[in-house]
Each structure stands twice: as structure tokens, then as C-alpha cells.
Amino acid sequence: MQRAPTSQSLKLKIWAAGTGNFLEWYDFGIYGFFAASIGTHFFPSDDPIASLLSAFGILAIGYFARPIGGFVLGRLADTLGRTPVMVIALAIMGASTFSIGLLPGYDAIGVAAPILLVILRLAQGFGVAGEYAISTVFLIENAPRNRRAFISSWSLFGTYVGMAAAAGVGAVAAITLTDAQMQDWGWRIPFLLSIIPSFAGYMLRRGLDESPAMDEKAPEKDLPAIKVLQVAWRPIVQYISLFMVATVAYYIAFVYSASDLELELHLTTAETLNVSTLSQLFLMFLYPLAGLAADRIGRKPMAMMAALGLLFFSWPFWWLMHQPNLGFILIGQYMFGAMLALGYPVYTLMMAEALPVHLRCSVLSIGSGIGAGVVGGMAPLAATFMVDKTGNDLSPAYLIMGAAAISLIATLRFRETMPERVLQTT
């Protein structure tokens, strides 16, 4: 028998879940924005491009730790409980991000510097793997049945607040510090500032009541960890396929595009940061609205609209982003954001509602670790390869369209998971 959610404030639970997602994407943002300085400090080279590539290579290494972290942390959350693992994931992320700000460079400790940086990025990727999936499941299990999409969408809101904060911190640093100061020590400040959301998140999470769903007795809870992969590989593949379009579209339209706009349209770093910040602000407010819609019309229609929209309109959106006009660039990125907002709030919810309680975090953490970490993380590399081989700056749009086709097929094969009691009252 599953007990009802406790009287502990739902707002408190939303804040507690959101802080981890904020920290995850704040770290991602600041590492990307300050990659050039990081490359110079940890991978000294006469060629600045070589240093930059090394820094981004270390960022990519963190992605490959995500499937492992998803497997370990997801299984722990399904057996020990959601709240203790949420504290563990936050502690790992916070400690690794803060430590990068303190880490001596190559000039001080030699080859130990890049080795330690690799270890910290692996730890960060390990912690991140369980963060979004577990915190979102926690919100879903604590939300009223007729508000699950809206309540769980605030987890996504936290991710974009984190990205916007990273862009804002980067912009402030670029304005207030000289290039020499930024290169020498200024890049460390954003990493050290991560102690603030880390501590706030710890204080919020340590007193959280456990999810009421964990009271359910089910055979899946006692499965050995390795057995989970044998039992759950189909839903893992299904989940990766469902949200593939959102992952590929985000990493190309919002991550890869930053360097692409600078190289192809010769936008300044400040202009690129401004576009990124405005787009993140636009996205963060769309997600709760999309959550409200999903609670009214269902999960599957939202996912269908996202897949169809990106299948048919990715090319014109990407074309707009390659016009020599900031207004057109913003419109193109906003349109990508609108399509993402239709689908992102429902993918995890659809799978969570379809899965047994004691497999939810395992499936979703492994799936997001592979989907967002490996597939999404490789999307910018694939886009760069396509442009290089075809000579067509618009070719990355075809990657998004291909991912949209896969997600559309997966969505068509998925049943509606919105509770029947809610459907009958809409």
C-alpha cells in the first residue's frame, strides 16, 4: 500500500530538486564558456586551438562516465530511496565543480594537473548521470496525479536557470575583468561560486521526506544490479529513442551553434553570450506552460507535436540561424526552443508512469546517461564532421530531422500514460 505524499511543502521539494539540475547545467555552461582559459592552464601548447580541443576533449570524457553513474546511482535510488541518492549526487557534482576552481595548473604541478582535471570531470559526469532522472522521478511521485507534468517540469526549469546563470556570470566576468586577469585567475571564480548552490541544495535535500512510492513492495526491488539490464534493456532503448530528438536538437541548436555562429557569421563572444542568455530565458518559462498543457491534453500528443515539428521545420529554423541578422538568429533559436518545450517535459514522465516503481530510476538514469551523455554529447562532433565533409553549413539540420524520425516512431509505438481518471475529467 502506497502512502499519500507527506505534508512537507511541495514547493520545498521543487526547490530541492531544482538546485541539483541548476548545478549540473551551471557547471556545463561555465566549463564551455571558459574552455579557452582552461585549455591554456592545463594543456599548454604553442597552438591555442590544440589547447582548446584538449579542454573540450576533457569535457567529452565526462559524458562517458554518465552511463556508469546512471547504472550505479539509478539502482541505488530504486533500492535505498530517492532522497539519499539525491544528496549523494549533489555532493559529487558540487565537490568536483568547486575543486576545479582550486586545481593548480600545468605550470605548478606538471602532468598531474591534466590528470586531476580528468578525474574531476569523470566524477562530475558520474554524479550528473543520476541527477535529472532521480530528481524528476521524485517530483512525479510527490505530485498530485493531475499535476504531474506541471510539477515535474520545474526540474527542467532549474536546468535552464543554471545555463542562464552560467552565461550571466561569463558576461559579467568578460565586462569587469581584463583579458589578462581572466586568463590568469578570473576563470576560477565561476567554479568557486558553485559552492553557493551546492550548499543550498544540500541544506534543502538533507531533510526531505522519502518518496511515498518507495513503500511499494515489488520483486524488482530485490533484483541484482546486473539483472536489471537484462530485464529493462527494452525500456532503456525506448526511452533513449523517445527523447533522442530533444537531445540532438538541443546540443546542435544551443551548444554547437555558439561556436558555429562565431566561425561562420563572425559574431563576437559577447553577441553569442547574449543570444544564448536570451534563448535560455525564453526556454525556462516555456517548460512549465508545456507541463500545464500536458496535464490537460495528455503526454503523447505533446511528444508527437515536438517530433513532427522538428522533422518538418528544423531546416528552415537552422536557415534562420545562419542569416547575418541577430533578430533572425534569435527567431530561429526560439523556434527550436518552442519545439523542445513541447516534448522535453513529457519524455521522462511518460516512461516513469509506464515503469514499475523500483525500475524507474534505473531505466531513466541509464537511458539519460546514454542518450543525453553519449548521443547528445557526440551531436556537435557529428555536426562538425558533416559540415566539413559536405561543405554545407545547413547540413546539421538533417541530423535533427533524422533524430526526429526516430523519436516519432518511438512515440507512435508508445501508449498514453496520462491517468485515466484525469482523462475522464478533461
> What does the pLDDT read at residue 1?
47
Query: Which of 244, 166, 59, 309 is closest to 252 using CA atoms?
Result: 244
Angle between helices 225-250 and 66-79 (to 10 degrees): 130
Q: Does residue 15 fall inside a structural domain?
A: yes
> Is 285 a member of any domain?
yes
Range of the domain at 308: 10-211+218-423
- Structure-derived torsion over alpha carbons of residues 147, 159, 402, 320, reported in degrees to the nearest 10: 110
CB distance 253 to 400 below 8 Å: yes
Side-chain half-sphere of 172: how many Cα atoms within 13 Å? 9
Rounded Cα–Cα distance for residues 55 and 212 (Å): 43
Residues 339, 306: contact at Cβ < 8 Å? yes
- Single-letter amino acid code for the residue at 102: L
Q: How far is CA 223 from CA 79, 96, 417, 422, in A?
A: 9, 31, 25, 33
The enclosing H or E element of 203 equals helix 195-205
Going by C-alpha positions, the residue among 150, 193, 179 that lies closest to residue 23 is 193
Rounded distance between C-alpha atoms, residue 243 and residue 240, angstroms: 6
- Asked whether residue 134 is domain-assigned, the answer is yes
Q: Are 157 and 288 in contact (CB under 8 A)?
A: yes
* Site of grid cell 535533427: 400
Cell of 195: 559552492
Domain count, the chain: 1
Residue 3 falls within a domain, yes or no? Answer: no
Place of cell 530533444: 246
Q: What is the per-residue pLDDT for 93?
A: 92
Neighbours of 278 (CB within 10 A): 16
Backbone angles phi, psi at 90, to 5 degrees: -65, -40
The phi-psi region of residue 372 (left if phi > 0; otherwise alpha if psi is between -120 and 50; otherwise beta) is alpha
Assess if residue 318 is contained within a domain: yes
pLDDT at 425: 47
What pLDDT does 421 receive? 46
What local confidence, expressed as pLDDT, does residue 107 receive? 85
pLDDT in tens, the chain (426 residues): 455 555 568 889 999 999 989 998 888 778 877 777 787 778 776 655 555 556 667 767 777 888 889 999 999 999 889 999 999 999 999 999 999 999 998 888 888 888 898 889 889 888 888 888 999 999 999 999 899 999 999 988 888 888 878 878 877 887 888 878 887 888 899 999 999 999 999 999 988 888 888 876 665 566 666 777 888 889 999 999 999 999 999 888 887 887 777 677 777 766 777 777 788 788 888 999 999 999 999 999 999 999 999 999 999 999 999 898 888 998 999 999 999 999 988 999 999 999 988 889 999 999 988 888 778 878 887 888 888 888 888 999 999 999 999 999 999 999 888 875 445 544
Q: Tell me, what CATH number does 322's domain have?
A: 1.20.1250.20
| Separation CA 347–CA 242 (nearest Å) | 7
C-alpha count within 13 angstroms, C-beta hemisphere, residue 164: 15
- Model confidence, pTM: 0.86
Q: Is residue 370 part of a domain?
A: yes
Residue type, 29: G
Assess if residue 191 is contained within a domain.
yes
Residue 292 domain flag: yes
CA–CA distance, 201 with 181 (Å, rounded to integer): 31
Q: Which pLDDT belongs to residue 86?
A: 94
User: How far is the C-alpha of 375 from the C-alpha of 388, rounded, in Å?
Assistant: 20
Phi/psi of residue 4, nearest 5 degrees: -75, 155
Sequence-distant (≥ 6) Cβ neighbours of residue 236 within 8 angstroms = 229, 363, 366, 367, 370
